[in-house]
Amino acid sequence: MLSWLDANTATLLNGFALAAVLFLVAVGLSLVFGTMNVLNLAHGAVSLTGAYIGVALLGQNAAASSFLVAVLAAAAIGLVIGVALAWLTSSVGDHLRQALLTLGIALIAGDVLAEVFGDDVESVPAPAGLDGTVVVLDDPYPVYRLVIIAISALIAGLLYVVLERTRIGAIVRATVADRTMVEAMGIRTSLVLGGVFGAGAALAAVGGLLAAPILGAQPGLDDTVLLLALVVVVIGGLGSLRGALVGAVLVGQVQTLGVSLLSEYASFLLFGGMALVLLVRPRGLLPAKIGSHA
């Protein structure tokens, strides 16, 4: 057992690093779907925008401070985009047409990004000081990936506290469970939804930026990230923070450990796994409690 662990430590850690990024991107998608039933197909494009912010602001060697500035910029820009998306989709009643709208926006955004930054793969360097390796169980492992895991865990903890312990969090959870009831109580759910959309998009943009030193930034990455995030959300359960976390870890490990152990079936693992989970647990593994209007 120990020798297996030794041989696969780096793979396991990579799985968690990927999970860290996926969690940041997927949690917004999950909460937006949980509160407003909007399938936001522009979510991948938001994440890619975050990555390109990194390309724009960080040169070849980035100091930790400029990296921090980039993170804040990504969060701010993500927030604005999220609120704008919330406003745009609120005037459209039907879910499929909302999906049409967000897909249209995603196509436009993808094209604009390719126009501005070109079609080549762009690299973003890890912040100076965090771009070295550290020895984990006899093998070198990049420090940066460990840092991402830590940051993501921290944010997950913060989100948990906000959702479970604050009044705002309670309102959000109530809106997921039963939106009309919350409206009946006099709370402007449009503000809640705008906030959730904005926060979710901000997290997605930050996730995209943090992933950039590993995945790079290129046209087409938005589709890849969107598909992975959709799978995370569906496996984990819609509208739930814990679901997003569990889903992210599962998908992250399937894509790394799974691929490593079962490389002949690598391409089928992800969607095959998702189909299996859905057939056994149609609402996902840890869905949020939903009221009678499911």
- Count of alpha carbons within 13 angstroms of residue 143, beta-carbon side: 10
Q: Which of 123, 56, 52, 119 is nearest to 81 (CA)?
A: 52
Using CB under 8 A, pick the residue from 81, 230, 250, 251 that binds another protein: 230
- Given a contact cutoff of 8 angstroms between Cβ atoms, the answer to whether 235 and 277 are in contact is yes
Closest approach of Cβ 106 to another protein, in Å? 7
With the C-alpha atoms ordered 217, 222, 224, 227, is the resulting torsion angle positive or negative?
Answer: positive
**Touching another protein, residues 74-93 (CB under 8 A):** 92-93
Q: In angstroms, give the least distance from the CB of 147 to another protein.
A: 14
**Separation between Cα atoms, residue 180 and residue 127, nearest integer Å:** 46
Stretch that binds another protein, among 156-164, 165-173, 202-210, 278-286 (CB under 8 A): 278-286
Contact 205, 56 (CB under 8 A): no
Token pair of 225, please?
């990230």
Question: In terms of CB distance, is 75 or 284 closer to another protein?
Answer: 284
Decide whether 194 or 287 has the Cβ nearer to another protein.
287
214 is a site residue for another protein (CB under 8 A): yes
291 binds another protein (CB under 8 A): no
Q: How many residues bind another protein (CB under 8 A)?
A: 73
Q: Does 176 bind another protein (CB under 8 A)?
A: no
Residue 213 CB neighbour total at 10 angstroms:
23
Interface with another protein (CB under 8 A), residue from 160, 260, 285, 290: 260
Looking at the Cβ atoms of 139 and 164, the one nearer to another protein is 139
Instruction: Decide if residue 8 touches another protein (CB under 8 A).
Output: yes
Which letter does DSSP use for residue 42 in this model?
T
Q: Given candidates 216, 242, 285, 286, which one binds another protein under the rule CB under 8 A?
A: 216
Applying the rule CB under 8 A, the residues between 145 and 174 that interact with another protein are none
User: How near is the Cβ of 218 to another protein at its closest, in Å?
Assistant: 6
Give the DSSP H or E segment for 25.
helix 2-36
Which residue of 27, 146, 163, 234 would you call a contact of another protein, by CB under 8 A?
Answer: 234
Query: Is there a contact between 197 and 85 (Cβ–Cβ < 8 Å)?
Result: yes
DSSP β-bridge partners for residue 134: 141
Question: Is residue 120 a contact point for another protein (CB under 8 A)?
Answer: yes
d(CA 185, CA 130): 49
- Rounded CA gap, 242 and 156, in Å? 9
Residue 166 vs 267, nearer CB to another protein: 267
Q: How far is the CB of 204 from another protein (least distance, A)?
A: 18
- Subset of residues 11 to 70 that bind another protein, contact rule: CB under 8 A: 11, 14, 18, 33, 39, 41, 60
Q: Which of 56, 57, 187, 257 binds another protein (CB under 8 A)?
A: 257
Identify the CA nearest to 240 among candidates 168, 156, 153, 152. 156
Nearest to 11, CA basis, from 153, 116, 115, 136? 136
Smallest separation (angstroms) from another protein to the CB of 53? 17
263 part of the interface to another protein, by CB under 8 A: yes
